[in-house]
Chain A
Amino acid sequence: DGGITQSPKYLFRKEGQNVTLSCEQNLNHDAMYWYRQDPGQGLRLIYYSQIVNDFQKGDIAEGYSVSREKKESFPLTVTSAQKNPTAFYLCASSIGQVKAFFGQGTRLTVV
């Protein structure tokens, strides 16, 4: 079945650690996105990529980094510079602006 797979579902990070969230899609979509969700704030765009080897900052990119070496994969690294990383992270992909498909999310907690 085609879709977007995010892993892990739950992730725990110690203070000062970098962690990487995985996002893989087999929909052959060109564009991929990372959103952060906090209660009462909706979803906010962290980074997006329209094509392999190219990506752009979204509204809240500070403390995050991404790579897009393959069309299918768009991993997100939450660095130690992100001071409040506890949140629900959603990955999405789309062909143009027609429809975005979302993964099931990764819940990151700082311990």
Chain B
Amino acid sequence: AQSVTQPDIHITVSEGASLELRCNYSYGATPYLFWYVQSPGQGLQLLLKYFSGDTLVQGIKGFEAEFKRSQSSFNLRKPSVHWSDAAEYFCAVVDAGGTSYGKLTFGQGTILTVHP
């Protein structure tokens, strides 16, 4: 069964600092990978996704992520964090084939706190 691990439950950074949120997945074939962001009490917004091709993908709000097959990782990065980036971030994977039909498997989430 596929699984997603986000090793960091809570990360604190200063505004303007760089950010990297870690995501590791366990899946036999090539997965589709996603990063979502959630503000408190809200739904999820898609930041970016990886299906195939270039392993460095750009998303909204200045985020990017790099797919590394050898490390089974899909880490999210941002060069300079803004206070409005404070939220919870979820990495997710879906079966690129077979019968899963879009069922997302989520990591546990990483809460990002931004200090002024």
Chain A residues in the interface with B (C-beta under 8 A): 4, 6, 31, 33, 35, 40-45, 48, 50, 58, 88, 90, 92, 94, 96-97, 99-100, 102-105, 107
Contacts and interface: CB of A to CB of B under 8 A. Distances in A.
Contact of A90 (B43, B94, B107): B43
A104 B42 contact: yes
B101 A31 contact: yes
A35 B102 CA distance: 13
A99 B106 CA distance: 14
Contacts, number: 64
A97 B43 contact: no
Interface of B: 4, 6, 9, 32, 36, 41-46, 49, 90, 94-96, 100-109
Given A41-B108, A97-B94, A31 B102 contact: yes
B102 A42 contact: no
Given A90-B44, A104-B42, A105-B41, A50 B101 contact: yes
9 A-B pairs with the lowest CB-CB distances in the bound complex, closest first: A102-B43, A42-B106, A102-B44, A43-B106, A97-B102, A42-B108, A104-B43, A94-B102, A97-B94
**Interface of chain A, helix or strand or loop or mixed?**
strand
A48 B105 CA distance: 13
Nearest to A44: B106
Contacts of B43: 4, 6, 90, 102-105
Contacts of B90: 42-43
